Structure 1
Amino acid sequence: MNTTGASGVFAREYEALARAVEVGFAGGRVISVSFPPEVPDDAAEDHELLERIGAYLDGERDEFAGVAVGLTVPTDRRDVLEALRTVPYGEEVSVSRLTRLAALDADDPEDLELVTSALAENPVPLLLPDHRVQGGPHATPGGVREALRRVEGL
Structure 2
Amino acid sequence: MDETAGIYAQESPYLERFVQVGVASGRVLRVTFPNEAEDDALPDHAVLDRIMAYLEGVEEDFSDVQVALTVPTDQRGVLEAVRNIPYGDQVNVETVARMTSGIDHTEEADLDLVRTALDANPAPILVPDHRVRDGPSAAPPDVEQKLRSLEGL
TM-score by length of 1: 0.95
Find the partner of 2:65 among 67, 74, 79.
67
Report the equivalent of 1:85.
83
Report the equivalent of 1:135.
134
Cα deviation 1:75-104 (Å, max 9, x = unaligned)? 110000000000000000001111111132
Matches within 5 A, 1:139-150: 139-150=138-149
Take 1:53 and 1:69, find their aligned partners in 2: how far apart are those partners?
Answer: 14
Work out whether residues 95 and 105 of structure 2, in 8 Å CA contact, stay in contact via their aligned partners in 1.
Answer: yes
Identical-residue share of aligned pairs (%): 49
Counterpart code for 2:144: R
Q: Which runs of 5+ in 1 are unaligned?
A: none
Take 2:123 and 2:98, find their aligned partners in 1: how far apart are those partners?
Answer: 21
Report the equivalent of 1:119.
118
Counterpart code for 2:112: E
Counterpart code for 1:33: V
Q: Which runs of 5+ in 2 are unaligned?
A: none
Report the equivalent of 1:153.
152
Take 1:99 and 1:75, find their aligned partners in 2: how far apart are those partners?
Answer: 15
1:93 alignment partner, SS class: coil
Q: How many positions carry a matched residue from both structures?
A: 152
TM-score by length of 2: 0.96
Report the equivalent of 1:101.
99
1:51 alignment partner, SS class: helix
Structure 1 stretches of 4+ with a deviation exceeding 2 A read none
